[in-house]
Amino acid sequence: MTDLFTPLTIRGATLRNRIALSPMCQYSAVDGFANDWHLAHLGARAIGGAGLVLTEATGIDARGRITPNCLGIWKDEHIEPLRQVTDFVSARGAVPGIQLAHAGVKASRHRPWHPTPNAFVPLEEGGWVPVGPSAERFGGDGPVPEAMSIAEIAAARDAFAAAAGRAVAAGFRVVELHFAHGYLGHSFLSPLMNRRGDAYGGPFDHRVSFPLESVRAVRATIPDSMPLFVRLSCTDWVEGGWTLDDSVELARLLKRDGVDLIDCSSGGAARRADIPVGPGYQVPLAERIRREAGIATGTVGLITEPAQADEIVRSGKADLVLLGRQLLREPYWPLRAWAELRGSGSAPIAEEYAWALAETKR
Ligand SMILES: Cc1cc2nc3c(=O)[nH]c(=O)nc-3n(C[C@H](O)[C@H](O)[C@H](O)COP(=O)(O)O)c2cc1C
């Protein structure tokens, strides 16, 4: 019986359990560089026992950052500080993964704790004109984004591949492409954001072109032994938007092109959407894609309890459970889960602590 603590092997990587730190922006980098915060934040979740530790959305291009404070991997100089993070995370028994991202028309925003949170960063304050499939704003402010030319689309595809190459050099052992939440990849997929009439817009086959080309370019860059994940917004939750049926179809194509796992999120293409938010509300998305596309899935969203996470894996609804905010509240959640569930595998506890706690008991 597979449970939350059964190791998961995908290609050449083995996760010690099915618990992953979900990508979460920290808005604490300068010029894209990782620093002590990223080392401590990601390192703490590795000590806490997660099987997979994913970085926040990491810009493949300076213009692809959500905020000027987002992590980046668009130049070789970014590799060295990321290497310190991956060395530490690996040494603590977790697999380090990176989420590669381009924010598209949602780029150049102030971080959430700025006095004007999420507002457009003016060009004179270091902001930039966002790019995307269509020259349409997402927020109400800022300049109208530029619609990408065919050459710019090819350059973005190549930037994903170049970033993936740097991720390998930095010691990451899983690469995830962020095609969710209204950012660049998703904005090509969703009819709500893609108004193009050329080979990259219109019918389904055209809208999936940019994400699929990026996947193929990344797969050709990283080693065969390296797992490749894609995060999708599996539905826009809006009439006329991207649907779960579309995601099942796309998942089959992604699998064909060498993707190993679909990280199933949702939303982000529309400012107003009817989202049935509640505990595990995105689990049915992962379950259906797993069953109908025959590909491994991860699920995320309001999963907070060990028994809840364990049931998802035991019942075959998803292969991996990603936790976001609960792992911010409780970095050692996997240790608590192991103590409560006593599943298969061994306790993901650091030796430095294990002996001391055993000693205290005596
Ligand atoms: C502070 C914060 C930052 C986030 N940044 C990202 C991100 O960089 N990439 C991403 O795909 N999702 C991001 N998300 C979404 C989370 O990965 C996750 O899908 C979401 O929070 C739901 O899971 P939870 O209920 O366990 O928090 C972020 C969420 C939070 C709370």
pLDDT(360) > 70: no
The answer to whether residue 200 is catalytic is no
Q: Is 99 in the pocket of ligand 1 (CB under 6 A)?
A: yes
Q: For residue 346, what pLDDT band results from cuts at 50, 70 and 90?
A: confident
Query: Does some domain include residue 84?
Result: yes
Query: Does some domain include residue 2?
Result: no
Our mutation pick for probing the ligand 1 site, out of 21, 22, 111, 265, counting the most ligand atoms within 8 A of Cβ, is 22
Per-residue pLDDT at 296: 98
Mean pLDDT of the chain: 97
Q: Is 22 in the pocket of ligand 1 (CB under 6 A)?
A: yes
* Ligand 1 atom closest to the CA of 326, numbered from 1: 26
Per-residue pLDDT at 358: 80
Q: For residue 242, what pLDDT band results from cuts at 50, 70 and 90?
A: very high
- The predicted model gives 171-179 an average pLDDT of 99
Query: Does some domain include residue 259?
Result: yes
Q: What is the pLDDT of residues 64-76, one digit of tens each?
A: 999 999 999 999 9
Q: For residue 188, what pLDDT band results from cuts at 50, 70 and 90?
A: very high
pLDDT(140) > 90: no
Percent of the chain with pLDDT over 90: 95
The residue contributing the CA closest to ligand 1 atom 18 is 324
Per-residue pLDDT at 139: 84
Percent of the chain with pLDDT over 70: 98
If you measure from the C-alpha of residue 168 to the centroid of ligand 1, how many angstroms do you get, rounded to a whole number?
Answer: 23
Query: Does some domain include residue 139?
Result: yes
Q: Is 302 in the pocket of ligand 1 (CB under 6 A)?
A: yes
Per-residue pLDDT at 357: 83
Query: Does some domain include residue 123?
Result: yes
If you measure from the C-alpha of residue 214 to the centroid of ligand 1, how many angstroms do you get, rounded to a whole number?
Answer: 23
pLDDT(347) > 90: no
Between 186-200, 201-215, 249-263, 335-349, the lowest mean confidence (pLDDT) is in 335-349
Query: Does some domain include residue 258?
Result: yes
Per-residue pLDDT at 361: 58
- The predicted model gives 164-190 an average pLDDT of 98
For the ranges 121-130, 343-352, 353-362, the maximum mean pLDDT occurs at: 121-130
Query: Does some domain include residue 76?
Result: yes
Vertex 72 angle, CA 67 and 73, to 5°: 160
- The predicted model gives 87-98 an average pLDDT of 98
pLDDT(63) > 70: yes
In the chain, how many domains are there? 1
Domain enclosing residue 152, as ranges: 8-361
Q: What is the pLDDT of residues 10-26, one digit of tens each?
A: 999 999 999 999 999 99
The residue contributing the CA closest to ligand 1 atom 28 is 24
Q: Is 26 in the pocket of ligand 1 (CB under 6 A)?
A: no
Q: What's the CATH number where 139 sits?
A: 3.20.20.70
Query: Does some domain include residue 3?
Result: no
Q: Is 300 in the pocket of ligand 1 (CB under 6 A)?
A: yes
* Ligand 1 atom closest to the CA of 300, numbered from 1: 23
- The predicted model gives 287-310 an average pLDDT of 98
